[in-house]
Structures are given as structure tokens and as C-alpha cells.
Amino acid sequence: MRTVCTALLLAWSFAALAEENTVILNALALAHASQASVEQTLGKPEFCRKARLGLSCRYAAHGTEVVYASDQAQRITINELDELTFDKGAIARLGFPVQEPAEISDEALRWQDVSGISEITLFPSKDKTDYALIVVTPSADSKPAQAKK
């Protein structure tokens, strides 16, 4: 009986660990992606509107908002992350490699320069993550043109 209980406990532990490490939304794959590529991953947008940087679209998947500049995803906000714990390992569940945050506080966890991403910030709601803001490092063809002197 003890062996059966131990086996069940181990199976439950491994299942919980696997669930904890499952990528819930691969935000890294969305960085610099075109609107068409993002739609393949997240589905058609619920709506789009003009934004300061270009076009802003909201998708049903995790309440994700993507701002496009020159048809490349430049800012990604993931609004519905109730199942994501608010800890240093949380970025792995968003498709990023785990590394130490540049800033840790009760208000936010912030990483900088992660896999071509300028900044990843997680904001808490108790012990879970309320939302994530991902600022993509602009590529050469998505930067605004400089005025000539």
C-alpha cells in the first residue's frame, strides 16, 4: 500500500511540475512577427485601431494586445494570466529563457535584453501575474525614419 501511495504522489508531483512548466503563450515567437503570423497563432483580432506607433489589435487568447509598427509586433500586452505565478521563473511559461530579473519589487518583475526583447515586465495580482508587458527591440526596418537636416 505504501508503494502505491508513493507512486501516486510522485505521479501527481510530476504532473503538477509539467503543468507549471508548460508554455501558456509563446510571446517570444510573436516578437517581430507580422500581423498575419500573429493571427495564425492567436486567431483573428477582436478589433484593431490606430495607435501612436502604428496599429493596435486585441486578440481573445489571454486578452492579448499587440501593437504593430511597419507590420511587426513591437509591443505585446498579455492581460489574462490568472494561472501564471508571479515569480522569477514565470517568463519561461511565456516562451522566454529563464534568467534573473533586472528589477524585483512587490509591484513588478522586470527583465531587460532577453532574446532580442528590450523589456519584459510582469505585474502581480496577489501571488499570480495580473498582466505582462513585452517591449520588443525595434528592428532596423521598423524604426521611424530620421528627419534629414
Q: Which CATH superfamily is domain 24-139 in?
A: CAP (3.40.33.10)
Q: How far is CA 26 from CA 22, 93, 138, 140, in A?
A: 10, 8, 19, 23
Per the structure block, which three cell numbers stand in for 87?
515569480
User: pTM higher than 0.95 for the full model?
Assistant: no
DSSP 88-136: GGGGGGGTPPP---SEE-SS-EEEEEETTEEEEEEEEETTEEEEEEEEE
Every domain of the chain and the residues it spans: 24-139
- Residue 20 has a pLDDT of 55
pLDDT for 24-64, tens place per residue?
A: 999 999 999 999 999 999 999 999 999 888 999 999 999 99
- Mean pLDDT confidence for 117-139: 93
pLDDT for 62-109, tens place per residue?
A: 999 999 999 999 999 999 998 899 999 999 999 999 999 999 999 999
d(CA 112, CA 135): 9
- Mean pLDDT confidence for 119-131: 95
- Residue 130 has a pLDDT of 96
Spell out a b/e string for 17-31, using b for 16 or more CB atoms within 10 Å of the CB, else e.
eeeeeeebbebbebb
